[in-house]
Structure 1
Amino acid sequence: MAFFAAVSASSPAVSPPPNRSSRWVEFVVGAVVVVSLSAFLFFVFRRKILRSFRQRRRNTDGRLKEGKSKPRRFRFEELEKATKNFRSDYLLGFGSFANVYKGVLESHEIVAIKRPHSDSYTSLEEFRNEVKLLSSVKHENLAALVGYCEETTGSGGERILVYEYVPNGSLLHYIIGKFLIN
């Protein structure tokens, strides 16, 4: 009998197969460990995590971003050439303050050129403030200001804004088109 006791003590013990309840216990313990570790790391790094989250949210919530680009100053002759002397077939839209023309620059860039009527701007300072404001604002839903033209002539001068060209038309045409289709 001593022989059997010695043999059984030296042989490896065979564990019984795990049952379903022990697997659930292992799963619950593992989940508690993962959640606890995540909570611990969150509390340790919460300032960094929250700052990063707020910054990402601030950049995507539709606010206007300040631009750093300087608008290009165009000569009046360049804009005349781009619009073929402001021909009517280059006219994209018109309003009580300005006409907007499609223009093709020498660099083959297509732009929208807003040429106000002669009485639209009350002062040169008002025009310069508008250029400064439009060049400092960037947003995905706004056409960006490419440049401007400020020239004085005998009849008062030209104050023209040059925007990036948006091929789908104006917001008004987009809205009216939706209502006419439906």
Structure 2
Amino acid sequence: MKLFIGYATTEGQTRKIARHVADRLVDMGHSVELGPLGDLGPLDLTRFDGAILAGSLHIGHYQKALSDFADKQAVKLNDMPTLMISVSLAAAGHDAEEWRSLEGILSDFTEATGWTPGQVAQVAGAYTPSRYDVFRRFAMRRIITIKDPTADMDWDKEYTDWPALDATLSEWLAGPKA
């Protein structure tokens, strides 16, 4: 299969996840085109057998580059197998209210863009104080203190579950179950 992987990232974890997915797909024998959604020029999605879009949540919204791309390409995306990788720290926890919030954000996103992903993977991101400005560091410390009270607030910590991501990717490649 020839697959397109587009991503939008703020601190870099979504880019790392997208690259991991691309490498895994290539290792499985697929052809992959990977690119940051904010830097893409015109793209003909009909050249691809499927698409994976990845973006991270910040204050209840995905990056503008992801929303704009999904909005412009909604018709083509809805006509092909798609996987959306939604990256957030909320996905690192088991709080039912946070998971409902993730579902609500996704619902708002699909309504605003017109694209309904074939499958969605909620993937835990990373806490990266080394990349935050003073204000973001303060806000993120409050979140991490609740999510992971044992975390060292001065050091980066990755929460991404790579084996679970690989399993989701394999499931998506297998297609819908009859």
TM-score by length of 2: 0.20
TM-score by length of 1: 0.20
Which is higher, the Rg of structure 1 or of structure 2? 1
